[in-house]
Amino acid sequence: MKNQIFAILQRLGKSFMLPIAILPIAGLLLAIGTTFTNEAMVSSFHLESLLGHQTILNALFIIMKNVGGAIFANLPLIFAIGVALGMAKKEKGVAVLSAVIAFIVMHTTIHSMLVIDGQILNDNIIATHVVSGTITSVCGIYSLEMGVFGGIIVGLGVSYLHNRFYKMELPSTLSFFGGTRFVPIISTLVFLVVGIAMFYIWPVVQNGILSLGHLVADSGYFGTLLYGIIKRLLIPFGLHHIFYLPFWQTGLGGSMLVNGTMVYGGQNIFFAQLADPHIVHFSSEATRYFTGEFIFMIFGLPGAALAMYHCAKPENKKTVGGLLLSAALTSILTGITEPIEFSFLFVAPILFGVQVILAGSAYMIAHIFNIAVGLTFSGGFIDLLMFGILQGNSKTSWVLLIPIGIVYFFLYYISFKYFIMHYDLKTLGRSDEQPLKQNHIKPIFEENKEDQQYRLIVKGLGGRQNFNDLDCCVTRLRAHIIVPEKINESLLKQSGAAGVLLRGDSIQIIYGPHASVIKSKLEDYLERTTDDDFVDEISPVSIESVELKNIVDGEVVDISESCDNIFAQKMMGDGLMIKPQHGLICSPCDAVVSMIFPTKHAIGLRLNNGCEILLHFGVNTVSLNGEGFELLVKQDQTIGLGEPIWNADLHYIRDHALSENIMLVVTKLPNGLKLEKNYGIMSTQETILHITK
């Protein structure tokens, strides 16, 4: 259940990325246009002849300001489109069209209800008894102020209807309206009803959101600290977008009257103030949700990178230095921190705890010092230049970021170096293991360096048939996995990944800011290759017969009796199921340990005759997170027949998993070989499977 929820939240977070991706360009257009049409700025620098009224540049900057403002004004519709696009499984164009229609239908219905109720009078005049800011113009329709929540509701609803009905078959007389044509029809009808429901429901929700926003505001600096800590804690799971967006774009992030208009959401308030020439100083109550990011993204994390470099072994410093410098520059310029954070997240979680506390405190410090620098996407130097430096210190207090940032640089450096050295943490360049070499794949055609990377990704994901729903966010490649046990993290990291997060059947592979490019090129690569283009590089072997012995005392039955359909339907391959009488599990033959699943419940073996075997202990044991399993072997270890490989606590597994039965699956069977099975109650080392010609 948890994995299903995580998968849904992951897809939702991913769907936010398309509308969020437009914010930087919209923000830049608005910032540049506003800055260079500001009469005070133009006159102070005596640029009237160049930027004054009726000049070409003035006209250009006015257009830029209006275009940027229009994008922000229509974010609800943009989010409706983005969420529908991201959540739809197939025929995404139909989902997008249906979302636009549903959005218009919902708000038109709400408008009609407001007119009927007397809240909107003739000529769209809002009645005097209506609370200011609760009704606004949405794409030219006067409706309830729902912000991006309205767009998200439409996107989620339409994507659900789309995924359920896009293959809908109607009777022959109505067949023209079936399939994808039925989606906009059902969306229109459903969101007419939703519009009526929202007329009654949303004012209550709106009051709740505003009350919660006031609670956060009233919590003062502690609330800012808590917000920052939670946001950074969610980074590894890719769910931070879901958390921070309401604070940026809705009343949860506060409300403020700007230039006669009630504005909701921290980021919206900042950009409304940016366009208001009468603002003396931007509101730090609005920017408290993001200004602190400039402190740890431009200053703090580079200090952590320097600490990791100084702690690396001398022979590794050249390689590590290049990696950390690239990651630090990415953080400084763009505010994308995953390349640095994922370099230590999995190998030294304690450092991530340090990062969370320091980063959370940075949000609070910026709030305390009344620093109010806005951003479009993240706290890099580009946003600092546009929304801090160019806006002037009098409006933003951006200069204070420099001394505070220097303090945080040393805080990060000292903290990271202390923990790394004191606890001997295996950060970059400190591991005793040899670096992985990219020699596992043997191409059967000449390929360039990029193709080698994509080949590693496909192999690391378990093959072309083991993943679907390939997508990405800003820094992560995301996919749905058919058989999680086939994932090879080593290959994925060889392909350039900073980290791999596998939860149930959902995977996130962190590549940094190039993730979207990698995703697009990977799709091109998949289109021009086939399964036959992937050949394992193994030593030449003779196709010979081999006997597999029983791995534990117990009853041996066919794998089709498994309660897990993936195994029962032989999706991973044919094999046997053993009902163990005790927890000491031995190797069925001479082999090499080719894979150990992170949660210890599955082990892959590679035989000398080219066969590959998966030993999978229990059903739903991935949820145990390694509890109940003691591994007695290591990755790439050569093991002999009868050598102990697992010591498992059967009682614990029986109590906490769906089944303790062990699946022995032949996942790779070279041509010319077949399986002959033996069933019954057998002791360890009795022959249970012949792999023969």
Query: Per-residue pLDDT tens for 421-452?
Result: 998 888 888 865 444 333 333 333 344 556 77
DSSP labels, 192-250: HHHHHHHHHHHHHHHHHHHHHHHHHHHTHHHHHHHHHHHHHHTGGGT-HHHHHHHHHHS
Q: What is the pLDDT of residues 212-222, one digit of tens each?
A: 667 777 788 99
pLDDT above 60: residue 1: no
| Cβ 428 vs Cβ 320: under 8 Å | yes
Catalytic-role residue among 139, 311, 472, 473: 473
| Cβ 102 vs Cβ 185: under 8 Å | no
Instruction: For domain 546-692, give the CATH number.
Output: 2.70.70.10
Q: What is the pLDDT of residues 150-182, one digit of tens each?
A: 998 999 999 999 999 888 888 878 888 888 899
Q: Which of 72, 82, 98 is nearest to 11 (CA)?
A: 82
| Cβ 600 vs Cβ 578: under 8 Å | no
Q: What is the value of pTM for the model shown?
A: 0.56
Q: What count of other Cβ atoms lies within 10 Å of the Cβ of residue 416?
A: 28
CATH 2.70.70.10 intervals, the chain? 546-692
Superfamily (CATH H level) for 449-533: Glucose permease domain IIB (3.30.1360.60)
Is residue 473 part of the annotated active site? The answer reads yes
Q: What is the pLDDT of residues 101-138, one digit of tens each?
A: 999 999 999 999 999 999 998 888 888 888 767 888 88
By 3-state DSSP, what share of the chain in percent is helix, strand and coil, each rounded to 5? 55, 15, 30
pLDDT above 50: residue 298: yes
CB under 8 Å to 162, separation ≥6 — which residues?
84, 88, 91, 94, 95, 98, 183, 187
Q: Considering only 178-187, 468-477, 549-558, 675-684, which range has the smallest mean pLDDT?
A: 468-477
Q: Which of 91, 1, 18, 6 is nearest to 471 (CA)?
A: 18
**Cα distance between residue 308 and residue 52, in whole Å:** 51
DSSP alpha helix (H) spans, 38-124: 39-44, 48-51, 56-73, 75-87, 92-116
569 exposure class (CB count in 10 Å sphere: 0-12, 13-18, 19+): exposed
**Cα distance between residue 309 and residue 326, in whole Å:** 12
DSSP 620: S
CB under 8 Å to 419, separation ≥6 — which residues?
348, 350, 351, 354, 425
Please report the pLDDT score of residue 296 as a whole number.
97
The dihedral formed by the CA atoms of 82, 87, 92 and 96, expressed in degrees to the nearest 10: -40
Phi-psi group of 679: left, alpha or beta (phi > 0 → left; psi -120 to 50 → alpha; rest → beta): beta
**Cα distance between residue 198 and residue 191, in whole Å:** 10
Distances (CA, A) of 350 to 142, 298, 416, 426, 682: 51, 22, 10, 11, 47
CATH 3.30.1360.60 intervals, the chain? 449-533
Q: Which of 361, 147, 128 is nearest to 254 (CA)?
A: 147
Mean pLDDT of the chain: 84
**Cα distance between residue 351 and residue 304, in whole Å:** 9
Average pLDDT on 642-652 reads: 91
**Cα distance between residue 598 and residue 502, in whole Å:** 9
**Cα distance between residue 611 and residue 433, in whole Å:** 27
Distances (CA, A) of 197 to 108, 116, 152, 377, 460: 13, 15, 16, 34, 47
Indicate the length of the chain as a whole number. Answer: 693
pLDDT above 90: residue 620: no
Q: Residue 136 pairs with which residues in a beta bridge?
A: 143
Please report the pLDDT score of residue 404 as a whole number.
98
Phi-psi group of 442: left, alpha or beta (phi > 0 → left; psi -120 to 50 → alpha; rest → beta): beta
Distances (CA, A) of 77 to 85, 346, 673: 12, 38, 58
